[in-house]
Amino acid sequence: MTGARLALAELRARPGRATLTSVGLALVLLLALSVTALADGLVRGSTGVLRALDADVVVTDEAANHQLLRSRLVGAERTALLMRPDVATAGQIGLVPTSASVGGGAPERVTAVGFSPDAPAMPRDTVDGRLPRPGEPGSAAVDVALAGGDVVVGDTLSLAGEREVEVVGLVDDASFLQQPTVWLGQHDWARLRQAVQRDADYAEQLVGATVLQSTEHPEAVATAITEEHDELAVTTREGAVAAVPGVSAQQVTLGAVVAVTLAVAVGLAALIGVLQVLERRALLTALRAVGAPARTLLASVAVRGVLLWVGALIVSTAATVILATVAPPSVPMEVRPVIVASVGGISLVAATLGVTAAAWPILSRLDPQDAVAEEPL
């Protein structure tokens, strides 16, 4: 089409003019991408434990209200729930905040996760090695994020400066509240909890939440259990993810920031549309005079805008990846392809509309007669 050819020819002839515009666009897109990546990273960093499990329903005590850290369920509920026809298997997990150091290095904050040897309570995958086996004290699987990623199978881990365990496996994307996790068997976990929370005296027990694999729709199962047990708070895994402290507030806040950033992008697209037409007004008027329909010119402006946008998107994606790499580890930015695709896609559609809507009123009013007159205003 003529419009596209015009746009390409101009971009080739005057690349400099496009560069600065692209930089502006790329920065706004960088903002949108990094906010989205940050929101995503924050939520994922807070909820890795829940996502790592092969469970679809999460049960806490009523007072804990879906909070894994606060739940104080012990084995009894698990046994009762296992009897239900809509529950396939059940496991028990417990979380305790503590600190860990690898091979005598500096201690860092971690969450120790105790798990019963049941499918729903175990991480689905290990990236290396295996999980500690039942009746194998002194072993742990750890998050690859521990010690800045410098942990391997065979390392020795000191927990809370009191208990030593050997790393037998690595799990990925299993953090909790931005802290790496250490996965322990029941015995080690209970001892650790006793050591760090001395007021607790449930030796040898996993105190925490019960996690289920249901045989029916998880939501229906959660509702059914809630109705029968008012001492329990039951929700789907997604519900438990949303209940993790800060997650819903972060989603609302950063979601709003992303929305505003996209609005900025659309406004910027409109501005670019206007400026493009104004900058080339003489040329466009001349083209109108030699018989190019306004629609062709609009297409050329829109195509040029889209090309700029795609260029800016590529640059900003690269910049976001670099930013995520050089940012301090406390910035939980994660650039996943799905984020680039969704931010890029949404903004591209919005931007095309913005450019077109802003350029059309000026373009459609260009008077071919002006080509022979004074410089247009």
Partner 1 sequence: MSETGVPGDLVIRADRVTKVYEDGERQVTAVDGVDLSVHAGELVALVGPSGSGKSTLLALLGALTVPTRGAVRLGDWDLGTLSEASRTRLRARHIGFVFQAANLVPYLTARDNVALAGELVGASRRASRREAEGLLVEMGLADRLGHLPGALSGGERQRVALARALLVGPRLLLADEPTASLDSDRAEQVMGLLAGAARAEGRAGVVVTHDPAVAAWADRVLWLHDSRLVVPDGGEERTVGEFSRG
Partner 2 sequence: MFLGLAELRHAPGRFVVLGVVLGLLVALMTALATIADRHVTDLTGKVATSPADLLVLDAAAQGALQASRIDDEAAAHVRQHAAGAELAPVGEQRMGARVADGELLDLSLWGLDPDSPAAPEVIAGRLPRQPGEAVLDVADRAQGAALGERLTLVDTGTVLEIVGFTAEARFGAIPTAAVTYDAWTEIAAEAADADPDEVEPTAMAVRADGGVEELAAALNGSSSPVQAAPPSSLASQLPGVAGVRASFGLLLGVAWMAVAAVAATFAVAGVAHRQRTIALLRAVGAPRRRLLAALTVQLLVVTAVGAVLAALLVVLAAWLAPADVPLRWEPGTWAASAAVALAATLMASAVAVVRLARVAPVDALGARR
Of 1, 256, 322, 349, the residue at the interface with partner 2 (CB under 8 A) is 256
Task: Please report how close the Cβ of residue 105 comes to partner 2 at its closest, in angstroms.
Answer: 12
Task: Give which of partner 1, partner 2, none residue 373 binds (C-beta under 5 to 8 Å, depending on kind).
Answer: partner 1
Contacts with 333 (C-beta within 8 Å, 6 or more apart), sequence order: 34, 37, 38, 41, 320, 323, 324, 327
Pick between residue 231 and residue 375 the one whose CB is nearest to partner 1: 375
3-state secondary structure of 161: coil
Q: Choose, by CB under 8 A, the member of 267, 368, 370, 371 that binds partner 2.
A: 267
Largest CA distance in the chain: 93
Q: How far is the CB of 376 from partner 1 (least distance, A)?
A: 8
Please state whether beta strands 163-171 and 87-102 pair in parallel, antiparallel, or not at all (unpaired). Answer: unpaired
Q: Does position 200 bind partner 2 by CB under 8 A?
A: yes
Q: Which range touches partner 1 (CB under 8 A), out of 83-91, 284-292, 332-340, 369-377?
A: 369-377
Contact 156, 208 (CB under 8 A): no
Buried b (16+ CB within 10 A) or exposed e, 306-319: bbbbebbbebbbeb
Per CB under 8 A, the list member of 196, 211, 302, 313 interacting with partner 2 is 196
257 is a contact residue toward partner 2 (CB under 8 A): yes
**Measured from the CB atom, is 1 or 260 closer to partner 2?**
260
| Residue 142 to residue 151: CA distance in whole angstroms | 8
Is residue 229 close enough to count as binding partner 2 by CB under 8 A?
Answer: no
Taking CB within 5 to 8 Å according to partner kind, which of partner 2, partner 1, none is near residue 358?
A: partner 2
365 lies in the site for partner 1, by CB under 8 A: no
Q: How near is the Cβ of 128 to partner 2 at its closest, in Å?
A: 26
Least distance in Å: CB of 206 to partner 2? 15
Output the smallest distance, CB 7 to partner 1, in A: 27
Rounded least distance, CB 153 to partner 2, Å: 24
Residue choice 3, 6, 10, 38 for contact with partner 2 (CB under 8 A)? 38
The answer to the question of residue 201 lying near partner 1 (CB under 8 A) is: no
Instruction: Provide the CB-side half-sphere exposure for 356 (13 A, CA).
Output: 12
Token readout for 134 is 């039942």
φ/ψ of 70, rounded to 5, equals: -95, -15
Report the residue from 199, 201, 231, 375 that binds partner 1 according to the rule CB under 8 A: 375
CB hemisphere CA count around 107 (13 angstroms): 14
CB of 121 to partner 2, least distance (A): 22
Stretch that binds partner 1, among 47-55, 125-133, 341-349, 366-374 (CB under 8 A): 366-374
Closest CA to 100 of 48, 150, 154, 164: 164
Of these, 20, 76, 249, 377, which contacts partner 1 (CB under 8 A)?
377
As given in the structure block, the two tokens for residue 164 are 């030593």
Give the separation between CA 111 and CA 219, rounded to whole angstroms: 28
Alpha helices in the chain (DSSP H): 2-13, 15-52, 75-82, 186-196, 218-228, 237-243, 247-279, 281-289, 294-326, 337-365
Query: Least distance in Å: CB of 286 to partner 1?
Result: 14
**Residues making contact with partner 1 (CB under 8 A):** 372-377
